[in-house]
A = this chain, B = another copy of it.
Amino acid sequence: MARTQGSHSQFTGPKVRDAALRLFAQHGFAAVSMRQIAAEVGVQAGALYNYTPDKQTLLFDLMQEHMDDLLAAWCAEDPGGADPFTRLEAFTRFHIRFNTKRADAVFVSYMELRNLTPDNFETVTALRGAYETRLQDILTAGTTQGVFTVAEPRITAMAVIALLTGVNTWYREEGRLTLDEVETLYWNMVRRMVGG
Residues of A within 8 A of B (CB): 26-31, 111, 114-115, 151-152, 155-156, 158-159, 161-163, 165-166, 169-170, 185-186, 188-189, 192-193, 195
A57 to B152, CA, bound (A): 42
Q: A27-B30, A159-B163 are in contact. List 6 more A-B contacts (CB 8 A).
A: A27-B114, A28-B30, A28-B115, A30-B31, A156-B189, A192-B195
Which of A27, A163, A195 is packed against the most chain B CB atoms within 10 Å?
A163
**A-B contact list, 10 entries, CB within 8 Å:** A27-B114, A27-B115, A28-B30, A111-B111, A151-B188, A156-B189, A162-B162, A163-B163, A192-B195, A193-B193
Q: Chain B residues near A30 (CB, 8 Å)?
A: 27-31
Query: What copy number does this chain have within its complex?
Result: 2
Closest chain-B Cβ to A81's Cβ sits at a distance in Å of 27
Q: Chain B residues near A151 (CB, 8 Å)?
A: 185, 188
A111 to B110, CA, bound (A): 10
| B156 near A166: Cβ-Cβ < 8 Å | no
Closest chain-B Cβ to A37's Cβ sits at a distance in Å of 15
A170 to B154, CA, bound (A): 11
Q: Evaluate whether A158 and B170 lie within 8 angstroms (CB atoms) in the complex, with A28-B30, A111-B111, A115-B28 already known.
A: yes
Closest chain-B Cβ to A110's Cβ sits at a distance in Å of 9
| B158 near A162: Cβ-Cβ < 8 Å | no
Q: Chain B residues near A152 (CB, 8 Å)?
A: 185
Closest chain-B Cβ to A185's Cβ sits at a distance in Å of 6
